[in-house]
Amino acid sequence: MFSTGIFMINMWSIALFFITLAIISFTHYVYRWRNPKCNGKLPPGSMGFPLIGETIEFFIPSKTLDVSSFIKKRIARYGPVFRTNLVGRPVVISTDPEFNAFIMQQEMKLVQLWYMDSFSMILGGITDTAAVAGILKYFRNLILDSMGTESLKEKLLPKLEVMVNQSLLSWSAQSSVELKESIASMVFDWTALHLLNYDPSKSSENLSKMFVNFFHGIMSFPLNVPGTTLHKCLKVRKTAMKLTRDIVHERLTSSEKRHGDLLDQLIDDMKNEEFLTEDLIFSIIFLILLASLETISSALTLAMILLTDHPFVVKELKEEHEAILRRREENIDSPLTWKEYKSMTFTSQVINETLRLANPDPGMLRKVIKDIHINGMLNIND
């Protein structure tokens, strides 16, 4: 009986010791989480809860076109530059125009392109390839040549008009239309046609639907377990990438057939640009498809919402467009010309205002590669 009592006391002592150790360890972990180790002074802010940081509040959808409440609250509390933690990563957010301009000038010096973990997981390593400075320069020139003003004027405008008319005709036969998803599908089909002559009617897989689903996971928490948004995106990623890669590979191995699209240009450039490989060409095509999909569809969806709320703008747009039709006289069904497009001054103003309000690229992610000092504070390299 006496020995049993001693045994019970020892068991309670051991249990109490481990409980105390766990509490101390957790408290220390929370303290370290909220106060990251740094040789200097970090910008003010909060790191939120362990592991998830302030991710939940950050992802709460905004019901207005104004700056999100997440950003506004922290600007009021900490100022234009503050620290936080999103999807498991420590982040410094800057809304200061002068500091942002400075950061833009320090590409590959103090900062470099960075993508959220979920984005990198979905793309499967493409982001690493596309971050090389020399490739980015070629990439920018390629886009300007392929989708710039001259290309739009000579080749793209007629194709775009046909695609839009076909989509509008299809939508008019439906009882209701899921606007953003339908616009995203239209934008994808047109972009894919211009990039690699992809015809959705000849494909057994809905490639546009797969790419649309990507965006449900790009900004999600990087937790790849069954049931999560990221896990669902990763499941369709493999199929979408295989379909795109097969198209690129088929064109590379049968160079006799020409389509006059961007893929043809990339194949031709392989003769002069040593860094252009089949993998990189696939990466370029895939990233352009992904980038154009969300930005354009979001802006067009917002335009529809704004026009619905402002019928007087619709009235003036209609008058401007009907005036162009009257000037055509007999050839009323002829394609839209560049001259007619440039004459739409009010339409251009509506487009510019929509882009200003939509801001399809509200922020840029950069990884610090060297310490950055801001007004006595340190934005430190991890």
Q: For residue 83, which amino acid is it?
A: R
Residue entry with tokens 């900004």 = 219
What are the tens digits of pLDDT across the range 49-79? 877 788 888 878 777 777 888 899 999 999 9
Task: Give me the architecture of the 130-309 domain, per CATH.
Answer: Orthogonal Bundle (1.10)
Task: Count the neighbouring beta carbons within 10 Å of the beta carbon of residue 262.
Answer: 23
Q: What pTM value is reported for the model?
A: 0.72
Pick from 107-121, 205-219, 279-293, 305-319 the range whose average pLDDT is largest: 305-319
- 350 and 317 in contact (C-beta within 8 Å)? yes
Both tokens assigned to 157: 């405008």
**What pairing do the DSSP bridges indicate for beta strands 89-94 and 111-113?**
unpaired
Confidence label for 353 from pLDDT (cuts 50, 70 and 90): very high
User: DSSP assignment, residue 112?
Assistant: E
Confidence label for 232 from pLDDT (cuts 50, 70 and 90): confident
User: DSSP assignment, residue 270?
Assistant: T
Per-domain residue ranges of the chain: 36-114+366-379, 130-309
Rounded CA separation 276/124 (Å) = 19
